[in-house]
Amino acid sequence: MNTVSKSQKKRDALVKATISLVNNNGFHATPMSKIAKMAEVSAGTIYLYFENKQDLVNQVYIDVKAAFSKFAFKDYEEGGSVNKGFEIIWKNIAEFKLMKVEEAMFLSQCDNTPIVDEPSRKEGLKHLQPLLDLWERGKKEEIIKPVSPYMLYAFSIYPIAFLMNMQEREIFKLTKENIDEAYEMAWNSIKI
Amino acid sequence: MNTVSKSQKKRDALVKATISLVNNNGFHATPMSKIAKMAEVSAGTIYLYFENKQDLVNQVYIDVKAAFSKFAFKDYEEGGSVNKGFEIIWKNIAEFKLMKVEEAMFLSQCDNTPIVDEPSRKEGLKHLQPLLDLWERGKKEEIIKPVSPYMLYAFSIYPIAFLMNMQEREIFKLTKENIDEAYEMAWNSIKI
Amino acid sequence: MNTVSKSQKKRDALVKATISLVNNNGFHATPMSKIAKMAEVSAGTIYLYFENKQDLVNQVYIDVKAAFSKFAFKDYEEGGSVNKGFEIIWKNIAEFKLMKVEEAMFLSQCDNTPIVDEPSRKEGLKHLQPLLDLWERGKKEEIIKPVSPYMLYAFSIYPIAFLMNMQEREIFKLTKENIDEAYEMAWNSIKI
Amino acid sequence: MNTVSKSQKKRDALVKATISLVNNNGFHATPMSKIAKMAEVSAGTIYLYFENKQDLVNQVYIDVKAAFSKFAFKDYEEGGSVNKGFEIIWKNIAEFKLMKVEEAMFLSQCDNTPIVDEPSRKEGLKHLQPLLDLWERGKKEEIIKPVSPYMLYAFSIYPIAFLMNMQEREIFKLTKENIDEAYEMAWNSIKI
DNA sequence: GATGAATGAGTCTTCATTCAT
DNA sequence: AATGAATGAAGACTCATTCAT
């Protein structure tokens, strides 16, 4: 007996196909028929798993965002130093963006485009709380600048998406050293 | 005699309509007919000014990017200190993103999405040279970190787009003080 | 031991669901899946009882027509006076149309629409023979007008369907007195 | 220069095709593509003249009903005797139903089916007023039975539809004499 | 007998693009 | 130059029917 049901496998294939095709063509230029074909499933089958096209992207977005968040807090424990804690999280995020390029690109497109609806956006944000908590503590300990978390995010986390985009376009290559340098830049921007 | 011909007015109206509609609905959810209607022009007329839909976005992208670049180097002269020069450019860019929201949102969507083709992307990049030159000089003078300009861009310029997005969604508000803080963060991330 | 088998119950439920849904939405706007759901039966199960959708309506039509005919000749015996016999039958039919509205509406829709096939139409007509016989006798006795039975039906029986439709749309209300008046009109049209 | 514009010709062709196809297959079994083909028009063109399929039937229904009503009161003038007035109207209606079979069948299907929406039904009813007025006068003059106009309609006008249906199915043939007999039956049912 | 997931042909509708005026 | 009616290919979605369980 399988631990992963046949149904789950199909849903997974659909999610994966959606990510790949939306990355390459954009949401509206990706027909359901192509998603079905890539997932090796009939066109009608999509509608057994998702209500409609909008529901499909929404769910894929939430799924991927959840996986991203889980990855972001790998090996992170709340008690440690702000400094070290941020480094762990930042490097996790960087690793995700560089290793799981497909997923990361998909999130980037959703986050800069009106294809995902507001409720799903909200849902996707939920999991980032530990980072916000860490920053809050960092501010109290006067290690982190006393500015809005949106500012902290903009200057320390968001830039990774740009680097990922450039890497994807083969304009720029991220190496081990690069990453350490990038981390330095992120930290410099938010530390007091 | 008018300095702006009737033709130019129509082209401008089409460009403006495209920006507005693509911002709100995305490229593929924006029909040519709606663009025509908003520009108060017949559907067929678009094809007198642009080859097809792809050509339309490409040209709009290049236009807006040119306007953006021009704005970015307002009041900037190449000879001055790296420090001051960067501040001028950065604040120009920030001003653009916060004042010309429509244009800025459009660029953000194009830059994170496969709707504009690669040649147009390249074309749009051309005008940023003075900033790259400034950074190069900054590196020589050991004021700017000796890292790839993509890294510099990612951490100092790209974050502004995130703040703009948040402001647009009314999640976050940029004020005078905020902007100075943001500039601080940008500068801290790239300075040695 | 049950007189009604489990199978028969399912078939009955399917027939009932079909009547109700076709009444409200029309035949082609009624999916098999909805019929199945309303009958609390799996979609595939329908095909154990009926060959396909066409066969389903056909059979439902024949069933309902049979029930209708049976009801029409309740308390009627062939030997009595034409006058009295017709009154009994007519009032039975009126009662059916006004009490069993669902069934009557279904018949009305089938009789004015190409959804039931010709063989089933013929089959459904079979049971009306006693009325035709009565009319035939009435003509011989020079009580009933010597015209085609289709004419007799058109002017004496068919009008009830119109009244039922109006009642169903809550445009017109049939009361005890109304019915007697209606019967008068029916009789006046066919009597010599 | 034509008195009938090219546009009007196309709309007419679409209306005609709709009537014919809905008669033979029913509304929901008539694809827009077939209507387009029969009207010798591209599928997309339908949507220049009608908002959607529902709007198409609604408009066709209203159109046909208007033509029917106009025909019904041909040669009729309000001042004459109730008796004669009714005969003129009744025979006009009969002539319409037997000459313009396509249109009449279409109306019959719409009137016994939920394919036309309620507002359009109301709209279609408007034109029958002169007949209602005549009946009202007939009641005052104690020539017509003092019953609801729905009853009068059911027994005198509605039966014609049945005869038309039978004729269409080649089960029954309406001749000159038949029609006079039928008129007799209609009049007998409503006269005092 | 019974289920319901899966199929894929078929439907309505949209929209980029053309072309006669 | 400008129009906008017309096209028809393509897309989202539905649903009758099948079949492995």
Q: Which of B114, B126, B98, B4 is nearest to B57 (CA)?
A: B114
Q: Is there a domain that residue D58 lies in? A: no
- Provide the shortest C-alpha distance from residue A4 to chain B (in Å): 34
**pLDDT score of C59:** 96
B99 has a chain A CB within 8 A of its CB: no
Instruction: Tell whether C169 is covered by a domain.
Output: yes
**Measured distance CA(A15)–CA(D96) in Å, rounded:** 60
Q: Compare all CA atoms of chain D with the CA of C144 and give the residue at the minimum distance.
A: D185
> Pick from B50, B66, B81: which residue ends a domain?
B50
- Does A30 share its domain with A71? no
Nearest by CB to residue A151, choosing from B112, B145, B181, is B181
Residue type, B62: I
Q: Which residues of C touch D189 (CB under 8 A)?
A: 155, 185-186, 188-189
Chain C residues within 8 A of D108 when measuring between CB atoms: 112
Tokens of B145: 């970190």
Q: What is the pLDDT of residue D125?
A: 81
Is the residue at A55 inside a domain? no
Q: Which residue has the tokens 């940023």?
A: B128
* Residue in the structure block whose two tokens are 């950074």: B135
Q: Which nucleotide is nearest to A49 (CA to C1')?
A: E5
Q: Which of A124, A109, A6, A108 is nearest to A59 (CA)?
A: A124
Q: Tell me, yes or no, whether B32 and B87 share the same domain.
A: no
Statement: the CB of B48 is under 7 Å from strand E: no
Confidence of residue C3 (pLDDT cuts 50, 70, 90): low
Residue D19 lies in a domain: yes
Residues A41-92: tens digit of each pLDDT: 999 999 999 999 999 999 999 999 999 999 999 999 998 999 999 999 999 9
Question: Is D78 found in the same domain as D34?
Answer: no
Residues with CB under 7 A from strand F: A 30-33, 43-44, 47, 52-54; B 6-7, 10, 41-45, 48; C 29-33, 43-44, 46-47, 52-54; D 6-7, 10, 41-45, 48
C165 within a domain of the structure (yes/no): yes
> Which residue type occupies A13?
A
Shared domain for C36 and C69, answered yes or no, is: no
Q: What is the pLDDT of residue D2?
A: 46
Task: Confirm or reject contact between B8 and chain A (CB < 8 A).
Answer: no
CA B135 from chain centre, in angstroms, equals 19
CA of B58 and C1' of E8: distance in angstroms? 38
DSSP summary character for residue C9: H
**Domains: count for chain B:** 2
Q: How far is CA D1 from CA A71, D4, D6, in A?
A: 74, 9, 11
Q: Are residues D89 and D181 in the same domain?
A: yes
What are residue C191's DSSP bridge partners?
A: C144
Q: Which pLDDT value is given to residue D124?
A: 84
CATH number at residue C35: 1.10.10.60
Task: Compute the nearest-CA separation of A22 from chain B (Å).
Answer: 9
* Whether residues B38 and B80 fall in one domain: no
Decide which of B163 and A4 is more confident: B163
CB A42 within 7 Å, strand E = yes
CATH of the domain at B68: 1.10.357.10
Average pLDDT, chain B: 92
CB-based burial label for C33 (10 Å; 0-12, 13-18, 19+): exposed
Would you call D156 helix, strand, or coil by DSSP? helix
| C155 in the same domain as C69 | yes
Chains contacting C with at least 3 CB pairs below 8 Å?
D
- D window 127-146, beta carbon within 8 A of C: 145
Query: What is the signed CA dihedral for D56, D62, D65, D71, rounded to 10 degrees?
Result: -110
Q: Which chains touch A (3 or more CB pairs under 8 A)?
A: B
Q: Residue with structure tokens 């025909």?
A: D71
Which chains pack against D, by 3+ Cβ pairs within 8 A?
C
Q: State how far Cα A164 lies from the chain centre.
A: 12
Residue B1 pLDDT level (bands cut at 50, 70, 90):
very low
Residue spans of alpha helices (H) in chain C: 6-25, 32-38, 46-49, 53-72, 82-99, 101-111, 118-125, 129-140, 149-156, 158-168, 176-190
Structure tokens at B108: 């953000």
Please tell me the predicted confidence (pLDDT) of residue B3.
60
Partners of residue C181 in chain D, C-beta under 8 Å: 145, 147, 151
- A125 in reach of chain B (CB within 8 A): no
A and C adjacent (3 or more CB pairs under 8 angstroms): no
Structure confidence by residue, pLDDT tens digits, D123-156: 888 889 999 999 999 999 999 999 999 999 999 9
Most confident of A26-30, A127-131, D12-16, D164-168: D12-16
Q: Which tens digits make up the pLDDT trace of C14-36?
A: 999 999 999 998 888 899 999 99
- CB D43 within 7 Å, strand E: yes
Mean pLDDT of B167-185: 89
* pLDDT given at position A187: 98
Answer yes or no: do D182 and D135 share one domain. Answer: yes
Whether the per-residue pLDDT at C177 is higher than 90: the answer is no
**3-state secondary structure at position B92:** helix
Structural domain contains residue D92: yes
pLDDT at residue D1, rounded to an integer: 39
Nearest residue of chain D to residue C26 (CA atoms): D114
Whose CA is closest to C155, among C190, C117, C112, C115?
C190
Q: Do B178 and A148 touch (CB under 8 A)?
A: yes
User: How distant is C1' of F19 from CA of C50, in Å?
Assistant: 17
D79 and D170 in a single domain? The answer is yes
**Average pLDDT of span A96-118:** 90
On average, the pLDDT of chain A sits at 92
C109 and C22 within one domain: no
Whole-number Å distance between alpha carbons of D78 and D2: 36
Cβ pair B143, B192 in contact under 8 A = yes
The per-residue pLDDT for range D100-131, each reduced to its tens digit, is 999 999 999 898 888 899 899 888 888 899 99
Contact B39, B60 (CB under 8 A): no
- Residue for token digits 């009449």? D104
pLDDT at A2 exceeding the cut of 70: no
Determine, yes or no, domain membership for C174: yes
Identify the sign of the CA torsion A163, A167, A169, A171: positive
pLDDT of residue A170: 86
- Closest residue (Cα, C1') to E15: B31
Average pLDDT (B149-164) is: 95
Low-confidence winner among B112-121, C58-67, D37-46 (lowest mean pLDDT) = B112-121
In a domain, A56, yes or no: no
Å from the A31 CA to the F14 C1': 17
Task: Calculate how close chain B gets to A192, using CA atoms only, in Å.
Answer: 10
Share of chain A above pLDDT 90, in %: 77
CB of C14 nearer than 7 A to strand E: no
Whether the predicted pLDDT of C2 surpasses 60: no
Pair (A162, A105) in one structural domain: yes
If contacts are CB pairs under 8 Å, which of residues 56-75 in chain C contact chain D? Answer: none
Q: What is the mean pLDDT of residues B23-48?
A: 94
- State whether C112 and D165 contact (CB < 8 Å): yes
Q: Is the pLDDT of residue C75 over 80?
A: yes
pLDDT at A34 over 90: yes
Question: Would you call A6 helix, strand, or coil by DSSP?
Answer: helix
Environment class of residue D151 by beta-carbon count within 10 Å: exposed (0-12), middle (13-18) or buried (19+)? Answer: buried
pLDDT band for position D177 (50/70/90)? Answer: confident
Per-residue tokens: B9: 């007015």
Residue D58, pLDDT above cutoff 60: yes
What confidence tier does B88 reach under pLDDT thresholds 50, 70, 90? very high
As a whole number of Å, the CA-based R_g of chain D is: 18
Burial (0-12, 13-18, 19+ Cβ within 10 Å), D184: middle
Q: What is the mean pLDDT of residues B35-57?
A: 96
Helices (H), A26-73: 32-38, 46-49, 53-72
Summary mean pLDDT of chain D: 93
- Across the interface, whether the CB atoms of B165 and A190 are under 8 A apart is answered no
| Arithmetic mean of pLDDT, A30-44 | 96
Top residue of D102, D189, D190 to mutate, by most chain C CBs within 10 Å, is D189
Summarised one tens digit per residue, pLDDT across range B103-141 is 999 999 898 888 899 899 988 888 899 999 999 999 999
**Domain of residue D152, residue span:** 63-190
In the predicted structure, residue A1 carries a pLDDT above the cut 70:
no
Same domain, D37 and D100: no
